[in-house]
């Protein structure tokens, strides 16, 4: 029997013909990764400071992570949450160790984690008021990003996210990040929660100040509100502590997490403090794929490597030195660079004007980095990134800024 003919075409043509055009992708096809580097289909190497948008916490194909995935895939992949599996129980225990006394729910993504937080807030409102649909007001922050489901979009006050999908979920209002009074002014008898990213990612790499978080904590305590922190992008060691909010010393009532937790395998989770964990009862929330043996094996491998390789301390030390080096660019290129924001391995290079011309030039020089907000280049290296690799990235950034400066002057 003759073999069927195979029609061969390149990836760009396949995308052009069959993939929905909801992403503005650059002309780049990545085919391999190892550590902090990725390679395209021409064999060119790049430093990957996107980390899959803060997902590849251990970089690409870390041998311990790969071994854990392979072993678990040969034993048990999926059983659903109709049954227990050992990996899920162990992962929940370790997340509680990091977050404090409470319980964990597993899902598949940051958007799902945030959707679960919104549902938790609604249940808290019901407990407060005794009347379903009355106490549903959630106060978020301007320029936030919490996902693209209807709950996530409704909590994300950005026109580019919400346009075309109205009417949205009711009950969301927004204060100005780091302006405590703007949140105080929004609290009323129908308020059930305050929902914040500890560091706004998509909105421009803008951290909550310690003073602001402490003020929000006090406000929540005064009015019996849930303090829900979105640590999807800034959590799991990215800033040098396991959760970014831990640097302020405040406590959360609930945390949403994902991205780096699975190290590249889809994994999300919610932690809720003991006082609020019983809001979810059998049947009130669920996930078919949440917390599978394979997903939890991936996450456990991430936590193992973070501990064994002392990555939190390395991110703290290297990140502080790196930020200091990047801040020199503000003085060197004052007409191009406005400031450096963020912490650890989640930094923002804020430029004067639109960032994509710089991002394209960085890619041409071998450094991949995404945008944030309207004027920020986001720098999200894997947690394994060495000082030498950070220095290499800084040199590329300086080279691009210098070339752009000369072009403007000529």
Q: Are 276 and 351 in contact (CB under 8 A)?
A: no
- For residue 29, give Cα distances in angstroms to 21, 24, 41, 109, 358: 16, 13, 6, 24, 20
Over its C-alpha atoms, the chain yields an Rg (Å, rounded) of 22
Q: What interhelical angle do 293-308 and 63-73 show, nearest 10? A: 150
Return the active site residues: 145, 230, 259
Q: Are 226 and 128 in contact (CB under 8 A)?
A: no
Instruction: Kindly report the number of other CB atoms within 10 A of residue 302's CB atom.
Output: 29
């Amino acid at each position: 029997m003759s073999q069927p003919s195979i029609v061969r075409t390149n990836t760009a043509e396949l995308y052009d013909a069959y993939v929905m055009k909801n992403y503005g992708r650059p002309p780049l096809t990545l085919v391999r990764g190892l550590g902090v580097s990725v390679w395209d289909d021409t064999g060119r190497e790049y430093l990957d400071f996107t980390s899959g948008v803060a997902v590849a916490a251990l970089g690409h194909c870390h041998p311990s992570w790969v071994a854990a995935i392979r072993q678990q895939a040969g034993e048990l992949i999926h059983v659903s949450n109709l049954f227990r599996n050992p990996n899920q129980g162990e992962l929940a225990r370790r997340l509680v160790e990091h977050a404090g006394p409470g319980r964990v729910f597993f899902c598949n993504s940051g958007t799902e984690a945030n959707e679960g937080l919104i549902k938790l807030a609604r249940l808290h409102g019901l407990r407060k008021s005794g009347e379903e649909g009355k106490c549903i007001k959630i106060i978020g922050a301007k320029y936030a990003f919490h996902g693209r489901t209807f709950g996530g979009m409704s909590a994300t006050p950005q026109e580019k996210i919400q346009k075309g999908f109205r009417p949205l979920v009711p009950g969301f209002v927004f204060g100005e990040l780091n302006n405590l009074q703007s949140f105080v002014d929004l609290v009323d008898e129908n308020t059930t929660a305050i929902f914040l990213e500890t560091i706004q990612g998509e909105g421009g790499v803008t951290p909550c100040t310690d003073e602001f978080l402490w003020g929000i904590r006090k406000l929540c305590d005064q009015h019996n509100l849930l303090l829900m922190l979105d640590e999807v992008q800034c959590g799991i060691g990215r800033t040098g502590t396991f959760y970014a909010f831990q640097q302020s010393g405040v406590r959360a009532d609930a945390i949403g997490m994902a991205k780096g937790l699975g190290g590249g395998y889809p994994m999300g989770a919610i932690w809720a403090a003991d006082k609020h964990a019983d809001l979810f009862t059998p049947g009130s929330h669920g996930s078919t794929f949440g917390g599978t043996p394979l997903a939890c094996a991936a996450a456990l491998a991430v936590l193992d490597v973070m501990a064994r390789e002392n990555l939190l301390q390395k991110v703290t030390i290297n990140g502080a030195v790196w930020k200091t080096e990047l801040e020199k660019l503000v003085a060197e290129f004052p007409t191009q660079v406005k400031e450096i924001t963020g912490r650890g391995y989640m930094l923002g290079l804020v430029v004067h004007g639109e960032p994509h011309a710089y991002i394209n030039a960085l890619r041409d020089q071998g450094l991949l980095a995404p945008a944030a907000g309207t004027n920020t280049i986001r720098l999200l290296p894997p947690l394994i990134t060495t000082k030498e690799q950070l220095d290499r990235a800084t040199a590329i950034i300086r080279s691009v800024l210098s070339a752009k400066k000369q072009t403007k002057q000529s």
